[in-house]
Amino acid sequence: MALIVVVALPLLAAFLCWLRPLRRIAWVSTVILLALTLSAAVFTAWQVLLTGRVIAIAGWFEADGLSALLLLMVTFVCTVAAIYSGGYMRHETQSQDRLWWFYSNYNLFVFSLVAVPALARVNLVWVAVELVTLFATLLVGYESTPGALEAAWKMAILTIMGAPISLFGFLTLYWAFRTAGGGTSETWQSLCAMAATMSPSLLKLSFLLVFVGFGAKAGLAPMHTWLPDAHSQAPTPICAVLSGMKTTIPLYAVLRLLSVVLGSPDARIGEWMVILGLFSVGIAAFLLLQVRDYKRMFAYSTVEHMGIILTATGFATHAAAYGAVAQMLNHSITKSLCFYAAGMVLLALETRQISRVRGLFRISPFAGSALLLCSLAIAGAPPFPIFLSEFSILSAGLRSGHSAAVIVLAILIVIAFVAIFLQINSMLFGEPSPAATPVLAPRSCRTAILLAVAPVLVFGIYIPGPVHSLMTLAAQQLGGH
């Protein structure tokens, strides 16, 4: 039942924000209802830990370890981003009178994000992923400036073009499922059960199509070009959700399908995933060296992390799957924090150019320390959680006999690390320009940053027992042996 609540509450919130008398309190109702959604997601995850699988409506809405973890991530990131929006949007946006529209659309976006992991029916997952893209497009273009509209347009064309391609893939998948003797109820679970008997060539074709279609949405290179544009133009709280969850959710669907394909005999698709993942990491690592806009920098870092997750699942062992799941979790909590910090800088200095930001520590110690902390965390310095998950992915890769890939991956991660630090270093230290005045960030933004910092600080040192068991369950769903 809690699972239905998780899906229904954001819809209710969108409706409430749209009602005329309630438009003035759109932010308050969004935050309250999303916090309730988060608690319902926690309850669902707890039920999954107890019983292994939550079935709300059999064959339609079900949650296992992986989807429960994703639900937790989505609801946490989206709730904190909603809190952050309060102060940020009041200061930053040009279109104040349409804020109710922003929140209404934001809640619909959250609805589509939670629907993907909550749905068990594979064809409906396609619909939900497409809805994610559409609502994200509207939010990226919210400011209606030429830059924002251009970013929204690029994102729309590149990601919606993937829609028919992945639809073709899902229909082929259904064909494979039916000819192998599966019923009309095609869920992730029944797909995994039938994996060995489905025609390998059909499975491969459908995976290829879904990978092309959803890979563009997940921001995998070479289909990542919309990502930096969208992240530089969208309102900062939207960037946090875009980078933290909008890329992870299509990747989740791809990884689910990948676990089915890996279950079929004679599939060498794991090697391909390693190569494509490394390609994304490489492209991102070198682009990180030459960006000029700090929001774009964090966007390229997202491409890097999506590549790392894909590479890890390509290793196809249980340990690597655990690393991939941990990397997904750590990336979304850390990357959303990065954008909150970047938004603070933008509020204080009104520029996105790295070269125009100097001596941030003196202008705003709060924004400076948040930026330093999140860059250390996202680049993968110890003792932050990304260091742990990257380390476990590398060691799992070595043990599965992919030593060449592991060496390349390690080198690229180090390049990305150095690149991020060269950029951040020039922003944090030095003499501030005389025009800069100290700014106090809005209270809701500071609250959101403190909330977002907590898991990043804790998970690097200590992973609580329930979270660990949930991640282990999730890794089992990703397969591997």
Residues that bind another protein (CB under 8 A): 121, 123-124, 126-127, 130-131, 134, 137-138, 141, 144-147, 149-154, 156-157, 160-161, 163-165, 167-168, 171-172, 174-175, 178, 184, 199, 201-202, 205, 228-229, 232-233, 287, 289-292, 296, 354-355, 422
- For another protein, the closer CB: 148 or 456: 148
In whole angstroms, the minimum distance from the beta carbon of 210 to another protein comes to 12
- For another protein, the closer CB: 95 or 403: 95
- For another protein, the closer CB: 12 or 160: 160
Say how far apart CA 101 and CA 18 lie, in whole Å.
7
Copy the structure tokens of residue 170: 């899902």
| Cβ contact 452:80 at 8 Å | yes
266: left (phi over 0), alpha (psi -120 to 50) or beta: left
- For another protein, the closer CB: 291 or 456: 291
- Torsion sign, CA atoms 99, 101, 106, 111: positive
- For another protein, the closer CB: 182 or 479: 182
In whole angstroms, the minimum distance from the beta carbon of 42 to another protein comes to 29
Copy the structure tokens of residue 326: 């941990």
In whole angstroms, the minimum distance from the beta carbon of 324 to another protein comes to 29
In whole angstroms, the minimum distance from the beta carbon of 171 to another protein comes to 4
Residue 263's SS3 state is helix
In whole angstroms, the minimum distance from the beta carbon of 474 to another protein comes to 26
In whole angstroms, the minimum distance from the beta carbon of 59 to another protein comes to 10
What single-letter amino acid sits at 411? I
Classify residue 11 by burial, with Cβ atoms within 10 Å: 0-12, 13-18, 19+.
Answer: middle
User: Biggest alpha carbon distance in the chain?
Assistant: 73
Residue 220's SS3 state is coil
In whole angstroms, the minimum distance from the beta carbon of 467 to another protein comes to 33
- For another protein, the closer CB: 231 or 402: 231
Sequential DSSP letters for 297-366: HHHHHHHHHHHHHHHHHHH-SHHHHHHHHHHHHHHHHHHHHHHHHHHHHHHHH---BGGG---HHHH-HH
In whole angstroms, the minimum distance from the beta carbon of 49 to another protein comes to 31
Reported as type and span, the H/E element at residue 54 is: strand 54-57
| Cβ contact 35:43 at 8 Å | no
- For another protein, the closer CB: 192 or 205: 205
- For another protein, the closer CB: 199 or 447: 199
In whole angstroms, the minimum distance from the beta carbon of 66 to another protein comes to 22
Sequential DSSP letters for 411-460: HHHHHHHHHHHHHHHHHHSSPPPTT----PPPHHHHHHHHHHHHHHHHHH
Say how far apart CA 80 and CA 71 lie, in whole Å.
14
Q: Which residue has the tokens 């988060």?
A: 38
- For another protein, the closer CB: 123 or 403: 123
| Cβ contact 258:313 at 8 Å | yes
- For another protein, the closer CB: 156 or 406: 156
Copy the structure tokens of residue 342: 């970047």
In whole angstroms, the minimum distance from the beta carbon of 345 to another protein comes to 17
